[in-house]
Structure 1
Amino acid sequence: MKKPALLLVFITSTGCLLCAGSFNLGMTGAAKKKIKELDAKVAARQSASARAPAQDTTPPVISGIQATNIFLTSATILWQTNEPARGYLDYGTSPGYGSSATLTTAFMTSHSVILNSLMTDTTYHYRITSVDSSSNSAISSDRTFATMTGDITPPVISNIAISVFLTSATVSWHTNELATGLVEYGTSTVYGSSTTYVPAVNSSHQRLLSILPNRTFHYRIKSADQWSNLSISSDSSFTVAVSSIIFTHSIVELSTITYIEPLGHMEPPGHTLPTEHIYFYINTSSPPAYAPAAGVIRRLGIVAQEQTYNIVLYFTDTFYVNIGHISALDPAIAAQVGYIIDPNVYNEVNIPVTGGQVLGQQWDMTGVEIGLVNYGVSTNYINPSRYADKFSFCDSIFKYYAEPLRSQLYALVPRTGTDKDGRVDYDIPGRLIGNWFLEGSGNPADDDAKLAIVYDNFISTKIFVSVGGTLSIGAGKYAVTGNSPDPATVSQDSNKVSYELTDYGLPYTPRGILLVQLVETHKIKIETFPGSTGPEEFTSNAKYYIR
């Protein structure tokens, strides 16, 4: 009789059935070994199952939903999720939506979507979908928001007006509704500058522009209403001229003036080149000096050698006068200085004055000297870098006086010809006339190294040679016998030219020969022969001057 058989069945922790086979109840050693192997396999499977993480099947939780920053044509939707998730938005004018907005692919817990190009005064439906990293998705319920009610018509800009001053201009305009306003402006239609933005709180607008004289400016107006509808005016332009400055007071009482010396005074070695200021010669001792117009004294200096004051009076940042030969400051001015002025150093001050206000007392019978600096003009110097601003931007003060004062002052200038202002800049490229500088001299202030071959500031056609001191004839202002050849016509083609020099005043005592040749466009070879009456030839003592 056979022994009964035994069927071994193992149930794992995961519910799997493992059939070990059928065995006789009288198991052999091999059978027992087989059972142990099966036990080990089951234990291994159970251990692996315990280590495997559980799969995430829970969708993110959407909360904090709100529609914010709602305007005419835009709105922002915000929400949060309890775990990092991506999201997108369905939206439209009905629960059927029709449009969608997708966020970035990054997973985050705070979400926002900006909706643009919406219709005004319209109710929008929207719903949110958020998906976590396990692709579990959550969908919010339908929600709504309404865009703002407003017009889409930009404001109408009208009644544009402008008032132009020397360094500023005021632009005004009107809009038919409350609107913002600014003005773009500049010296071309690119503009480049603008006034400060002002919110939409007015229908009448006014803006101040900062400008410079002697320039043409372009400008346009921008105004937007509270719905961001923008209007831009067409381009307009205006020109500000320095001539808008009017001097109303003579710096010296007319009755005290003997005569006025125009621009171009020469007196080597201190004033070798034609000077940039004019002189008032007076017939009384130390009369008052007056401000020609309202302005601000910004600098004060003392000339130690003369013990006189120099006053720098500004009318704008680019238009001012230097007034010298003031022997004493007026007490009202002196009281505002506040400290001891250092000799030969300009001291910064800020003293407003009115037109006709007394500035101080004039020095001896020479009276005051005054030079006008106007950055709106330019001079004919071939090399402007050799000159201070007071030369490079020299202008005549007479031109800016109101009538009849202008004509009264011109009548006191004993200069021949119709041009009573005088001149400082005679340079002509490729011609002998004008200012020259000793080649190799590096100091622009070295008067000894300067030379001028120009016309007299009183007799406008009379040739003078002003020598700073380097040439053997010595420093001095010399007239030319025969007043020829005209230096404005002497060129490289003229070869060498000889001038017989005399004292500039009667009895015109002969002083020697000046031999000069234009060897390059801006270079001359020159030599003087004191006491000679000529003819002469260049020697090794000849020097070279350049522009």
Structure 2
Amino acid sequence: MSFRSLRTLLALGLLFAATGITPASSAVKAGAACTHVKEIRIVSGYKYTCIKSGKKLVWSKGVKVVVAKPTPTPTPSPSPTPTPTPSSSPSTPTAIGDPIGSIGGTNNGSAGQGTSPTQQQQMPPDTEFLYGRRIGMNCSTNGVFGFTGGMLAVCKDKRVVYALESDLPATPAGGYKSRPRWYPSLAQQFGKMAEPTCSPSSIKFTSPVIPLDSMAPSVPYGAMIGGHVTPIDHAYLGVMPLYKDAATRTEADYVPITSPTSGVITEIGNLGSPTSIRVVIDHGCDVATVYMVLNRLSGVLAPYAEELKSSGASKSVRIAVKAGEEFGRQRDNMLDFNVWDGTQWLSGFANPFSYTSGEAWKPFTADPLPFFTDSIRAVMESNMQKTTSPRFGKIDYDIPGTASGSWFLDGTFGYSGRMLSEIVNATSELMGGQVQNKNEVDWSHLAIAPHEVDSTQWIFSTGWWKDPAGDPHQFMFNLENGKTAPDKLTFSSGMVVYQLVDYSVLEPAGSPIRLVGNTPFAVGYTLSLGMPRGVVALQVNSDGSLRVEVNTTMTKVEDFTAFTSARRIYRH
């Protein structure tokens, strides 16, 4: 199996997750360019969603929303332990407040609590967080941070501006082991006015997402493929119908997708196709589950199936769901799945500031397995392609002082791909849109990390292979003959040149016969070297940055002798 075939298989369903809701206005209108898939803006009472139209990202047609307003809430308590038995009949969809919260509203306890959509919202003072403040607005307390349009902001000279690294306190020795105060919490990112007070440990997943006898080999967190240059923060759960040819599948082959525990469905959206739907469930206590590329809405979401067939259609809702209750069906591709836990923090991001300009939820990405009961977890683990710990994968591979991890081109603004100068000079909210003169935001991204399944092999994943406007590619490092592994490459190593190769998949003996480009690879597969595609020279600089030079015309490491003007500098 060639790299291209592997990429074709895994590319099913690879779409960006939402960047959250920013309930304030900016120059957004239907058809105008935007930056991040599923970014949401609330403008004059209408919600606009960033969708893919052809090769472009544009704002969808506005959908009228009703803004929820908070009321005093009693001291919250953890959600009661839900029953693991699926409901015999779907619940009637019921709006229960806060219709614009992407993973929940202003409640600070269990998912079932909500507020009346007719109450008037009162913003907290901006002395601790810049709630509702946008770039260019006045603010009262210098040094207070906020989150606007998916980016970190700060009050400076009594004016809200985009935050820069120079506005942050010094990074503590050993990095960030927990969320720094300046980093927006998961609740703040999604518009909640208070932090949950109950513990995620009170949330237990008592029902499988996919019927256990319908699960198939599944891709863990951490894949790098196509425009997903840095390790992907969601898994791809396999379903048994993928072992059948698409032309022979019937209605009976659809499998139910169910909520793992009680919660509130807060967001449903069309990702560009009637068979590619996104659903978010808030389980309370700072825990949410996210599902993407869902083929059908059913069960409690059946009433919205027709409405959500339109490309880019989305709807903010508050629909209670029980453990084991069906909300969708899957047949024709893997199901994207991940968990957010606002109390967890991935310490393997050396510079979390880089994610405050895009995909700010990443450090809160949690391993789903500990949330499930032991019996469900055992079956899920047995279906994860990765057989080493952590079975559900990993996305944070930064090791300061080495070449390992996720990187961003020097002079750009972290994950956003924008030039730093654009951020520094901004006096008002930046318009959504593609990075000027670039194909996608990932043009400036680089990842050097272990393969998501065969972690003995290292992947070179770049958003800029040949085209400086962006042409993402992934190749495997040839580490034969004692070549230094990227996580051992340090400043003292000097320049090291690596051969980059395609790779093939070797499935374990006795693996089920699979349909190429359709059926998931077997659990425990490994990688083998393929054809050479080029070389890359790496050197860790004294300040921890990484010097990189790609040569796509050479295939032998001995042909590369020194860096040239084509070298680039990347930073975490």
Superposed displacement of residue 393, structure 1? 0.6
In structure 2, which of residues 336, 352, 357 is the aligned counterpart of residue 369 of structure 1? 336
Superposed displacement of residue 402, structure 1? 0.5
Q: Is the 8 A contact 2:478 2:529 kept in 1?
A: no
Q: Is the 8 A contact 1:309 1:328 kept in 2?
A: yes
**Match in the other structure for 2:403:** 432
Local SS of the residue matching 1:292: coil
Superposed displacement of residue 429, structure 1? 1.7
Superposed displacement of residue 409, structure 1? 0.9
Aligned pairs for 1:158-237 (under 5 A) are: 165=78
Consecutive unaligned residues of structure 1, counting only runs of 5 or more, are 1-161, 170-213, 216-238
Correspondence 1:475 to 2:442 = no
Q: 1:258 to 1:340 in 2, by over 3 A?
A: closer
| Cα deviation code 1:109-162 (max 9, x no counterpart) | xxxxxxxxxxxxxxxxxxxxxxxxxxxxxxxxxxxxxxxxxxxxxxxxxxxxx9
Q: Distance in 2 between matches of 1:258 and 1:509?
A: 30
| Cα deviation code 1:483-524 (max 9, x no counterpart) | 642222212221111111101325611111110111243421
**Match in the other structure for 1:542:** 567
Q: Distance in 2 between matches of 1:450 and 1:304?
A: 25
**Match in the other structure for 1:527:** 549
Q: Is the 8 A contact 1:527 1:541 kept in 2?
A: yes
Q: Is the 8 A contact 2:273 2:310 kept in 1?
A: no
Superposed displacement of residue 372, structure 1? 0.8
In structure 2, which of residues 517, 530, 542 is the aligned counterpart of residue 508 of structure 1? 530
Q: 1:393 to 1:163 in 2, by over 3 A?
A: closer
Q: 1:517 to 1:453 in 2, by over 3 A?
A: same
**Cα-Cα RMSD:** 2.9
Q: 1:534 to 1:305 in 2, by over 3 A?
A: farther
Q: Which has the higher strand share?
A: 1
Correspondence 1:267 to 2:225 = yes
Aligned pairs for 1:4-83 (under 5 A) are: none
| Cα deviation code 1:271-291 (max 9, x no counterpart) | 111111111112214322111
Superposed displacement of residue 420, structure 1? 0.8
Q: 1:305 to 1:523 in 2, by over 3 A?
A: farther
**Match in the other structure for 1:253:** 211
Superposed displacement of residue 441, structure 1? 3.0
Q: Is the 8 A contact 2:274 2:309 kept in 1?
A: no
Q: 1:471 to 1:525 in 2, by over 3 A?
A: farther
Superposed displacement of residue 466, structure 1? 1.0
Q: Distance in 2 between matches of 1:332 and 1:277?
A: 24
| Cα deviation code 1:293-339 (max 9, x no counterpart) | 11101111111157411001110162101101112211531426896
Greater RCO between the two (CA within 8 Å, min separation 6)?
2
Correspondence 1:448 to 2:466 = no
**Match in the other structure for 1:137:** none
**Match in the other structure for 1:329:** 297
Q: Is the 8 A contact 1:423 1:457 kept in 2?
A: yes
Q: 1:313 to 1:433 in 2, by over 3 A?
A: same
Superposed displacement of residue 340, structure 1? 5.7
Q: 1:306 to 1:438 in 2, by over 3 A?
A: farther
Q: Distance in 2 between matches of 1:538 and 1:391?
A: 34
**Match in the other structure for 2:261:** 293
Local SS of the residue matching 1:410: helix
Q: Is the 8 A contact 2:447 2:462 kept in 1?
A: yes
Q: Distance in 1 between matches of 2:261 and 2:464?
A: 40
Q: Is the 8 A contact 1:259 1:280 kept in 2?
A: yes
**% same residue:** 23
Larger CA Rg, structure 1 vs 2: 1
Q: Distance in 2 between matches of 1:333 and 1:496?
A: 56
Q: Distance in 2 between matches of 1:345 and 1:516?
A: 44
Q: Is the 8 A contact 1:481 1:501 kept in 2?
A: yes
The letter of the residue matching 1:517 is Q
Q: Distance in 2 between matches of 1:382 and 1:300?
A: 33
**Match in the other structure for 2:496:** 497
Q: Distance in 2 between matches of 1:476 and 1:521?
A: 27
TM-score by length of structure 1 reads 0.54
Q: Is the 8 A contact 2:267 2:317 kept in 1?
A: yes
The letter of the residue matching 1:501 is L
Q: Distance in 2 between matches of 1:305 and 1:500?
A: 39
